[in-house]
């Protein structure tokens, strides 16, 4: 069980590394705040237990001073036809600093509320995010009822994958009714030692649409555009989900 918890903790929603060791600040970039994202799928036959234990864990997490905000999203579309979206949740937590993030994890990991939660799901994706433009990001802007929020993590195939072709594609989105905004993030993944390490030529993106009908109306036309095809040709998509905020 201890070994399983260590692995789960390193990849689980709303936590850092389960080794209970403090993050070595000399080996990681100083960040004023970070956003933790995790995509988890409940184990077979345990979805209600997953929801219940998650709620208990989030309640405890919310009492940590370093936690600034938290939310969750239910996916309704992805490119993998084998995933049961009904059993998947995407969660994000805004932390005040990397140090606060690590210290909170050290306190939370030994608690039964964390053990129960981590035992209820299989992790699909996990990362720490930092706004690529260095500006603040308000998690509340993607938590409003009715929105469609796209989450993706992509690795560039070329050194300039997130340069001009990316700019041309996102500028083209302004032409579609219902498009709200998008934000790019640098991606930090945990090393085997539990150290957040900048992923090479990798970025996460959040794209926000006014509602589902406008998102669906725009999706197919977008895929056929030259701007999309030129940008997508330079990417390997690690994770993609279209989602709705959920309570």
Q: For residue 23, what pLDDT is reported?
A: 38
Q: What band does 109 get if pLDDT is binned at 50, 70 and 90?
A: confident
C-alpha dihedral (9, 15, 21, 26), degrees to nearest 10? 130
* Share of residues in the chain with pLDDT > 70 (%): 87
As its CATH architecture, domain 2-246 has: 2-Layer Sandwich (3.30)
- Is there a contact between 228 and 140 (Cβ–Cβ < 8 Å)? no
Domain ranges of the chain: 2-246
Q: For residue 32, what pLDDT is reported?
A: 72
b/e burial code for range 24-55 (CB count within 10 A of at least 16 → b): eeeebeebebbbbbbbbbbeeebbebbeebbe
Q: How many Å apart are CA 18 and CA 198, to the nearest integer?
A: 19
* Helix, strand, or coil (residue 19): coil
- In the predicted model, is pLDDT for residue 201 greater than 90? yes
User: pLDDT of 3-21, one tens digit each?
Assistant: 333 333 333 333 333 333 3
User: pLDDT of 39-66, one tens digit each?
Assistant: 999 999 999 999 999 999 999 999 999 9
* Share of residues in the chain with pLDDT > 90 (%): 80
Q: How many Å apart are CA 152 and CA 185, to the nearest integer?
A: 10
Nearest to 231 by CA among 168, 149, 174: 168
User: pLDDT of 82-103, one tens digit each?
Assistant: 999 999 999 999 999 988 988 9
Q: What band does 164 get if pLDDT is binned at 50, 70 and 90?
A: very high
Q: For residue 158, what pLDDT is reported?
A: 96
């Amino acid at each position: 069980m201890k070994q399983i918890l260590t692995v789960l903790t390193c990849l689980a929603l709303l936590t850092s590394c389960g080794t209970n060791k403090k993050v070595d600040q000399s080996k990681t970039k100083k960040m004023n705040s970070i956003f933790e994202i995790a995509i988890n799928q409940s184990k077979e036959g345990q979805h209600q237990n997953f929801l219940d234990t998650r709620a208990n864990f989030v309640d405890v997490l919310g009492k940590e001073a370093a936690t600034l905000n938290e939310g969750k999203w239910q996916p309704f579309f992805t490119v993998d036809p084998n995933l049961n979206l009904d059993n998947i949740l995407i969660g994000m937590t805004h932390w005040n600093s990397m140090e606060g993030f690590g210290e909170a994890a050290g306190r939370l990991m030994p608690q039964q509320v964390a053990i129960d939660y981590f035992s209820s799901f299989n992790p699909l994706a996990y990362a720490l995010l930092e706004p690529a433009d260095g500006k603040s990001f308000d998690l509340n802007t993607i938590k409003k009822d009715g929105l469609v929020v796209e989450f993706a993590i992509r690795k560039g195939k070329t050194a300039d994958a997130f340069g001009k072709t990316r700019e041309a594609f996102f500028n083209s989105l302004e032409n579609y009714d219902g498009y709200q905004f998008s934000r790019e993030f640098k991606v930090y993944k945990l090393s085997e030692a539990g150290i957040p390490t900048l992923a090479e030529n990798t970025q996460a993106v959040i794209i926000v649409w006014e509602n589902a009908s406008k998102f669906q109306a725009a999706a197919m036309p977008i895929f056929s555009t030259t701007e999309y095809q030129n940008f997508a040709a330079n990417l390997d998509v690690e994770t993609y989900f279209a989602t709705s905020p959920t309570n």
